Structure 1
Amino acid sequence: MKFPLMRNNILREDLDAVIEYLKQEDPILTHGANVRAFEEEWSEWLGVKYSIFMNSGASANLLSMAVLKIRHPEGGEVIVPPLTWVSDIASVLQNGFTPVFADIDPHTLAMDTHKILAKITDRTRAVFLTHAQGFNGLTDELLNALRQRNIPLIEDVCESHGATHNGQRVGSFGWISNFSFYYAHHMSTIEGGMVCTNDPDVYQQVRMLRSHGMVREANDPAVRARFQQANPALNPDFIFAYPAYNVRNTEIGGILGRSQLKRLDANVARRADNLKRFLNQIDPAKYRIDFRLEGASNYAFNLILQKADNRLVQCVMSAMKESGIEFRRGSAGGGNQLRQPYLESIVPDGYHREFPETEHVHFFGFYIGNFPDLRNDEIDEICRIVNNI
């Protein structure tokens, strides 16, 4: 591909940091000091008290829902977007909750605030909001309403590192937030994810859930002592508080994360500049340009047709393929999740049609790669190609 989705997301300096570590006589490779340091540095960057590093953003989703399940063993409803990655909805199902869907705001691609509020019932246990494609999906109205109703917000920030709301980084507003460090994202540990929170109980629970549910993974002596006193017949090193998982990351992931974090803010700024250049040039008669850019960090260029046009969309795909522009149709996750087979027994037949904004993106929306070393002349050429269709 002449214009790939991502290029050079792991630099020589990142690899050199790993190599220097491996030159030690007996380097620790499982999680250790570098993982803990990355967690502390990430927390400081984000503006939260606690972060827990793990093997993927999907695992971060899973453990966030597992914590919610500890608080609500009876189950209940979690409000989720139909335009998101599969693991957001799968983690809700895997923990015995019922997903309730709210359509998106076309200006942010996140759930529409008014549609979220309309779906809240006495069975609502959380709102699981995805900050899609680098946009800030929050509104003051949503935050105030959830606070008043005592409904926790869980933020999926996997595609939106560095996005802000009112000058504060998204991922620091919710009860829990999730990040991904997959190769194509704003920064990469090859595979990796983070759960972030200001709640000390969540912090201890996620630490245990990450490592088989072992109590010794809690770093609060009071938590360990409580379990040990309640289970005197058990070896203190092998008390399992929860039927949990093994989703730890490694020292290599921690080293890569620490190296990449140093340039994350500069990369976010470059991506935002790239997006503005792209939106200033694409043809507004064909494509949407009215995105809410305040606080956006931008994951990729969004190319969404103004109107449903089956002939034009086929021409767009053909022209991008012929020109070497890599793209994803339907945005992240393949478009409307309600059309996916894993939800066939969960939602009514034809339910996807009740979400027209998501349906439009599903058929008439794409994303194109945006990354820090994308040159201005490359952006200009992409715009020329899509405008000439």
Structure 2
Amino acid sequence: MSNNISRSDLDTLIEYLSEEDPRLTQGGQVAAFEAEWSEWLGVKYSVYVNSGSSANLISLAVLRHQTGLGDLIVPPLTWVSDITATLVNGYTPVFVDIDPRTLALASGPTLNKINNATRGVFLTHVQGLNGLTDELLDGLERRKIPLIEDVCESHGAMFKNRKLGTFGLMSNFSFYYAHHMSTIEGGMVCTDDEDLYQMLRMYRSHGMVRESTNSKTRQQYQAANPFLNPDFIFAFPGYNVRNSEIGAVIGRNQLRSLDANNQRRNANHQIFLSHLDPNVFRTDFAIEGSSNYAFNVILNEPDMSLRDHIERELTRHHVEFRRGSSGGGNQMRQPYLKGIVQPDEWKKFPEVEHIHSYGWYIGNYPELEEQKIHQLCQLLNGCTGGNKWERT
């Protein structure tokens, strides 16, 4: 892997810290980063937080105020924080299997799962692939079911010439160390809804009313609570998930390189897919509009012996990998869901189960040399009994 905090990022941060009295806690740099990110993404409002997991947490907290409690449709292939945020906010997770070409919620089964208890669909765009379809968006609009997009692994991916994260009621991004861009730790919640934006700002900072940028909102709370100090009115049971000026300085600098880095990631991914043996490994992913996060290595057919052999060879050649792909595979198998998900319920989800046992991802990054991609493909193809398959 490569250090994705660049020399330029460090120099920019050093320059900022060399000022006479640089502010370190949330302030002008955070506000500027939020504005620049909103412009890049194509949304009206963004709220910078300390992680993508916190973005999940407060977006669902705000959704709860809009919808009330009930069911939230979620994928079994996602990061754990999507499901824990669902639980912490009082929703009941309803799992739907994935589409093997997008690794996201399968559109038809998702719509079929909607009932009177459904309060929303929380869709994860996995590893740079677009998970949206016209069928899903049209079906949710007809049923008036809100969509929350988890775009933590898919910065810059597109659907119909619009960036992912602009379709849902809210969207979440992560700026963790290994993602498309990094603020070391960090995340963003985005929306076009001004009321939700004000709530997100308050939830980010203890539920404090003074965090709202809407003077009318502040005045209403002050008038309704005349015996409280206006600086310390807490409207919601919020959190402290603020981020710092340091992260924002890095993020603003990283954002300038994001599009170019995404192009290099996608070029790497095309090379990888074109040299991987399609007779053994899946190569037919729906990559139109994608912004690749990692190389997916998924066996076409279940083969435990081959799986173990591949892992031994990758380990022997010091190639880092993650079995189960995003989030370690099928979340329904995890112990934190014991008593919430029925025993053996995970067996009813064949697509994610296949990836759980026979899928991996391997890191992709802009500086990855083409020769190393060829060597990786040769190593993987060779695990099947020699490099018999050659690209024509």
Normalising by structure 2, what TM-score? 0.97
**Residue aligning to 1:13:** 8
**Residue aligning to 1:177:** 171
Q: Offset of 1:324 from its aligned partner?
A: 1.1
**2:80 is equivalent to residue 91 of structure 1:** no
Matched residues in 1 for 2:142 and 2:66: separation? 19
**Which of 214, 217, 226 is the matching residue for 2:208?**
214
Q: Offset of 1:160 from its aligned partner?
A: 0.3
Q: Offset of 1:118 from its aligned partner?
A: 1.2
**Residue aligning to 1:237:** 231
**2:369 is equivalent to residue 375 of structure 1:** yes
**Which of 328, 350, 365 is the matching residue for 1:356?**
350
**2:68 is equivalent to residue 61 of structure 1:** no
**Residue aligning to 1:366:** 360
| C-alpha distance after superposition, 1:172-197 (max 9, x if no partner) | 00000000000010000000000000
| C-alpha distance after superposition, 1:145-180 (max 9, x if no partner) | 111111100000000000000111000000000000
| C-alpha distance after superposition, 1:32-70 (max 9, x if no partner) | 111000000000000000000000000000001100111
Matched residues in 1 for 2:287 and 2:326: separation? 18
Q: Offset of 1:372 from its aligned partner?
A: 0.2
| C-alpha distance after superposition, 1:279-314 (max 9, x if no partner) | 000111110001001010010000000000010000
SS in 1 for 2:39: helix
**Residue aligning to 1:275:** 269
**Which of 127, 143, 146 is the matching residue for 1:149?**
143
**Counterpart amino acid of residue 32 in structure 1:** G
| C-alpha distance after superposition, 1:91-114 (max 9, x if no partner) | 010011000001000001001001
**2:35 is equivalent to residue 35 of structure 1:** no
**Counterpart amino acid of residue 22 in structure 1:** L
The runs of 4+ residues in structure 1 deviating greater than 4 Å are: none
**Residue aligning to 2:255:** 261
**Residue aligning to 1:388:** 382
Matches within 5 A, 1:71-86: 71-73=66-68, 75-86=69-80
**Residue aligning to 1:343:** 337
Q: Offset of 1:8 from its aligned partner?
A: 2.1
Matched residues in 1 for 2:61 and 2:3: separation? 35
**Which of 296, 313, 322 is the matching residue for 2:316?**
322
**Which of 272, 277, 280 is the matching residue for 1:286?**
280
**2:340 is equivalent to residue 310 of structure 1:** no
Q: Offset of 1:204 from its aligned partner?
A: 0.0
Matched residues in 2 for 1:255 and 1:383: separation? 38
**Residue aligning to 1:113:** 107
SS in 2 for 1:100: strand
Matched residues in 2 for 1:71 and 1:297: separation? 31
**2:134 is equivalent to residue 140 of structure 1:** yes
**Residue aligning to 1:130:** 124
**Residue aligning to 1:104:** 98
| C-alpha distance after superposition, 1:63-96 (max 9, x if no partner) | 01100111234x1000000000000010010011
SS in 2 for 1:52: strand
**Residue aligning to 2:387:** none
Unaligned runs of 5+ in 2: 384-392
SS in 2 for 1:349: coil
Alignment RMSD: 0.6
| C-alpha distance after superposition, 1:347-370 (max 9, x if no partner) | 110000010000000000000010
Q: Offset of 1:268 from its aligned partner?
A: 0.8
**Counterpart amino acid of residue 34 in structure 1:** Q
Matched residues in 1 for 2:5 and 2:162: separation? 27
Task: Select between 115-124 and 180-189 the one with higher mean Cα deviation.
Answer: 115-124
Matched residues in 2 for 1:69 and 1:285: separation? 46
Matched residues in 2 for 1:55 and 1:297: separation? 23
SS in 1 for 2:40: helix
SS in 1 for 2:322: strand
**Counterpart amino acid of residue 53 in structure 2:** A
SS in 2 for 1:146: helix
**Residue aligning to 2:44:** 49
Matched residues in 2 for 1:93 and 1:117: separation? 21
Matched residues in 2 for 1:369 and 1:254: separation? 25
Aligned-residue identity in percent: 60
The structure, 1 or 2, with the larger RCO (C-alpha pairs under 8 Å, 6+ apart) is: 1
Matched residues in 1 for 2:80 and 2:196: separation? 24
**2:130 is equivalent to residue 165 of structure 1:** no
**Counterpart amino acid of residue 54 in structure 1:** V
**Counterpart amino acid of residue 81 in structure 2:** S
**Residue aligning to 1:194:** 188
Matched residues in 2 for 1:80 and 1:196: separation? 19
**2:245 is equivalent to residue 251 of structure 1:** yes
SS in 1 for 2:300: coil
**Counterpart amino acid of residue 106 in structure 1:** P
SS in 2 for 1:347: coil
